[in-house]
C-alpha cells in the first residue's frame, strides 16, 4: 500500500486523558482512535494487526476442533435470571438497554448463558459430544476504571471457546489440549517467553482455574513466579497457595503482569441451571460438563506494544505486523530515484510481500520517525545513493542491524 493513499497519518498529540503507553503509541501511529475512555476504534493499520492476531487465534482453535460461530450482543433477561447473573448485585459490569416496548435487554459481557441454551437444540445424546464452538465477537463490560489503553476496555473483541463434554476425563484431556493451544497463540504473537501459566481460584468444580499472564510493567495484576517451573500463582490465591503448585518451591518472585488469556472448568454449573443434558448409552440423562477459554485479541495487541516498544517506537513481531516491509523512498523528487523505488515496490508486491511504500514527498527525518512509530520490523531505504550503488539498505528493526543488499537478491533476503 502507498502511504500517500493511507488516510491515517502519524500524530504528535494524543487525547489529554490518555495515560497508557500502548494507547498513546497506537494513537500516535494511526492504529486506533479513542472514542471515549475504554472505547477505541481500529483504523486501517490497527485493523491489519487485529486481523492477523485473529487469524493466528483461529488457526489454533480450528486445530483443536473448534467450530466458529457468531453469537449476538443483545441478551434476554429471562435467560440470565436462570443462572442468577442478571441482577447488578451479582454482576456489576452489565451494560443494559431496553426494547422500544420497554423490555429490558443486556449487552453480553460473556456468552455462557446464550450458548448453553442454544446447544440444547443440538446436544441430546453422548453421540453429540464433545463439541467446541467458539467465536471472535464483541463483549461489552461497564468497567468503572478504564485507564490501561487496549488492555482494559468497555467494548472489545474476545475469542471465547466453550467445551461441551460427556465425561470428566474427556473434559480434562481437552483442558490440557487448550493449555497447549493457548501457548501456541502466545508464541505465535511473540510474547510466549514472557507468558506464564498462572494458577488462579477454581470455583466449585476444580481446585484451580488457569490464567495466562504476560510479565509487563504496565500490567494491572501481580503474579508470583516459580522460576524453576515457569508457572505462577496469582495474587488472589497467593495466601492459600504460597508455594509453586508444581514443585513446591516457596521462593516465588513477584512481577507485574497482564492477563492475556484464561481457561475455566465450568463443570455443570451452566448446564444444570439451563437444562443442557445428554443421555448415555443406557439412556440415562446427565448434565453436560463445560469449560470456557478466553483470549482478548486487542488486549494481546496492547500487551505486545507495552513489551516491544520504548516511549517513541513500536517494533511489531513479524507475525502480526501491519505490513511485512516498510519501503522508505528518499529523494522522490528525483525521477530516477523514484523509479527505482517504484520498481522495488512492484518487485516485492509481485513476490507476495506486503509492503507499506512511503512514497510521500517528505524529509528523510520525518519518514524515518514515522517508520519507527508504525513499527514494521523490516525497513528498506532507497535513495539516490542506493541507486548509484545498485543496492538497498535493509534495517532489521528488532536487531537494529543494517545491511546493504543487492536489488536482485532483495526478495529472497526478505523472505528469509
Q: Which is nearer to its own copies, 243 or 369 (CB)?
A: 369
Q: Which is nearer to its own copies, 136 or 244 (CB)?
A: 136
Give the number of other CB atoms < 10 A from CB of residue 145: 9
Q: Give the contacts of 347 (CB within 8 A, at least 6 positions apart).
A: 410, 411
Q: Which is nearer to its own copies, 140 or 323 (CB)?
A: 140
Residue 307, H or E segment: helix 297-307
Instruction: For residues 344 and 329, give the distance between their C-alpha atoms in angstroms, rounded to a whole number.
Output: 10
Of the candidates 388, 301, 318, 358, the residue with the CA atom closest to the CA atom of residue 53: 301
CA angle 199, 189, 52 (to 5 degrees): 130
Interface residue list for its own copies (CB under 8 A): 5-9, 11, 30, 33, 35-36, 39-44, 47, 50, 65, 67-76, 92-93, 95-101, 105, 107, 114, 118-119, 121-123, 128, 131, 133, 138, 140, 142-144, 154-155
Give the number of other CB atoms < 10 A from CB of residue 334: 15
State the minimum distance, in angstroms, from the CB of residue 297 to its own copies: 11
Q: DSSP character for 15?
A: -
State the minimum distance, in angstroms, from the CB of residue 42 to its own copies: 4
State the minimum distance, in angstroms, from the CB of residue 295 to its own copies: 18
Q: Which is nearer to its own copies, 40 or 212 (CB)?
A: 40
Q: Which is nearer to its own copies, 129 or 200 (CB)?
A: 129
State the minimum distance, in angstroms, from the CB of residue 311 to its own copies: 21
CA angle 197, 62, 232 (to 5 degrees): 0
What's the grid cell of residue 216? 509487563
What's the grid cell of residue 293? 477459554
State the minimum distance, in angstroms, from the CB of residue 148 to its own copies: 17
Instruction: For residues 58 and 129, give the distance between their C-alpha atoms in angstroms, rounded to a whole number.
Output: 21
163 contacts 181 by C-beta, under 8 angstroms: no
Instruction: For residues 45 and 378, give the distance between their C-alpha atoms in angstroms, rounded to a whole number.
Output: 16
Q: Which is nearer to its own copies, 65 or 245 (CB)?
A: 65
Q: Which is nearer to its own copies, 92 or 227 (CB)?
A: 92
State the minimum distance, in angstroms, from the CB of residue 261 to its own copies: 22
Give the number of other CB atoms < 10 A from CB of residue 363: 10
State the minimum distance, in angstroms, from the CB of residue 166 to its own copies: 13
Q: Which is nearer to its own copies, 118 or 369 (CB)?
A: 118
State the minimum distance, in angstroms, from the CB of residue 329 to its own copies: 17
Extended strands (E) in 283-344: 285-287, 289-295, 325-329
State the minimum distance, in angstroms, from the CB of residue 341 to its own copies: 19
Q: Which is nearer to its own copies, 124 or 169 (CB)?
A: 124
Q: DSSP character for 145?
A: -
Q: Which is nearer to its own copies, 88 or 402 (CB)?
A: 88
Instruction: For residues 390 and 367, give the distance between their C-alpha atoms in angstroms, rounded to a whole number.
Output: 22
Instruction: For residues 3 and 117, give the distance between their C-alpha atoms in angstroms, rounded to a whole number.
Output: 48
Examine residue 254 and say whether the peptide bond preceding it is cis (omega within 30 degrees of 0): no
74 contacts 58 by C-beta, under 8 angstroms: no
State the minimum distance, in angstroms, from the CB of residue 69 to its own copies: 6
Amino acid at each position: 500500500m502507498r502511504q500517500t493513499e493511507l488516510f491515517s497519518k502519524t500524530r504528535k498529540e494524543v487525547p489529554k486523558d490518555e495515560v497508557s503507553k500502548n494507547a498513546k503509541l497506537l494513537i500516535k501511529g494511526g492504529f486506533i482512535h479513542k472514542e471515549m475512555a475504554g472505547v477505541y476504534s481500529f483504523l486501517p493499520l490497527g485493523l491489519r494487526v487485529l486481523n492477523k492476531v485473529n487469524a493466528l487465534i483461529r488457526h489454533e482453535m480450528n486445530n483443536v476442533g473448534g467450530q466458529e460461530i457468531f453469537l449476538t450482543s443483545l441478551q434476554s433477561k429471562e435467560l440470565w435470571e436462570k443462572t442468577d447473573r442478571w441482577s447488578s448485585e451479582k454482576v456489576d459490569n452489565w451494560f443494559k438497554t431496553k426494547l422500544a416496548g420497554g423490555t429490558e435487554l443486556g449487552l453480553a459481557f460473556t456468552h455462557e448463558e446464550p450458548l448453553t441454551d442454544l446447544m440444547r437444540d443440538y446436544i441430546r445424546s453422548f453421540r453429540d459430544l464433545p463439541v467446541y464452538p467458539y467465536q471472535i465477537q464483541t463483549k461489552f463490560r461497564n468497567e468503572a476504571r478504564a485507564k490501561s489503553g487496549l488492555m482494559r476496555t468497555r467494548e472489545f473483541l474476545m475469542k471465547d471457546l466453550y467445551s461441551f463434554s460427556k465425561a470428566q476425563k474427556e473434559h480434562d484431556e481437552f483442558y490440557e489440549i487448550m493449555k497447549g493451544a493457548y501457548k501456541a497463540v502466545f508464541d505465535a504473537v511473540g510474547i510466549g517467553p514472557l507468558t506464564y501459566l498462572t494458577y488462579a481460584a477454581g470455583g466449585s468444580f476444580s481446585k484451580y482455574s488457569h490464567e495466562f499472564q504476560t510479565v509487563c510493567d504496565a500490567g494491572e495484576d501481580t503474579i508470583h513466579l516459580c522460576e524453576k517451573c515457569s508457572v505462577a500463582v496469582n495474587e488472589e490465591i497467593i495466601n492459600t497457595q504460597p508455594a509453586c503448585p508444581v514443585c513446591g518451591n516457596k521462593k516465588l518472585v513477584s512481577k507485574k503482569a497482564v492477563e492475556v488469556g484464561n481457561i475455566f472448568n465450568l463443570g455443570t454449573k451452566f448446564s444444570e441451571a439451563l437444562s443442557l443434558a445428554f443421555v448415555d448409552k443406557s439412556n440415562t440423562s446427565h448434565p453436560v460438563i463445560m469449560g470456557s477459554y478466553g483470549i482478548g485479541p486487542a488486549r494481546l495487541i496492547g500487551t505486545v506494544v507495552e513489551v516491544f516498544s520504548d516511549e517513541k517506537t513500536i517494533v511489531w513481531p513479524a507475525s502480526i505486523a501491519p505490513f511485512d516491509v516498510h519501503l522508505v523512498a528518499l529523494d522522490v523528487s528525483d525521477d530516477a530515484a523514484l523509479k527505482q523505488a517504484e520498481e522495488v515496490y512492484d518487485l516485492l508486491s509481485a513476490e507476495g510481500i506486503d509492503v507499506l511504500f512511503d512514497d510521500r514527498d517528505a524529509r528523510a527525518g520525518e519518514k524515518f520517525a514515522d517508520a519507527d512509530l508504525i513499527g514494521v520490523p523490516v525497513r528498506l531505504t532507497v535513495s539516490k545513493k542506493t541507486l548509484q550503488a545498485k543496492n538497498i539498505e535493509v534495517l532489521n528493526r528488532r536487531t537494529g542491524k543494517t545491511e546493504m543488499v543487492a536489488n536482485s537478491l532483495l526478495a529472497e533476503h526478505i523472505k528469509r
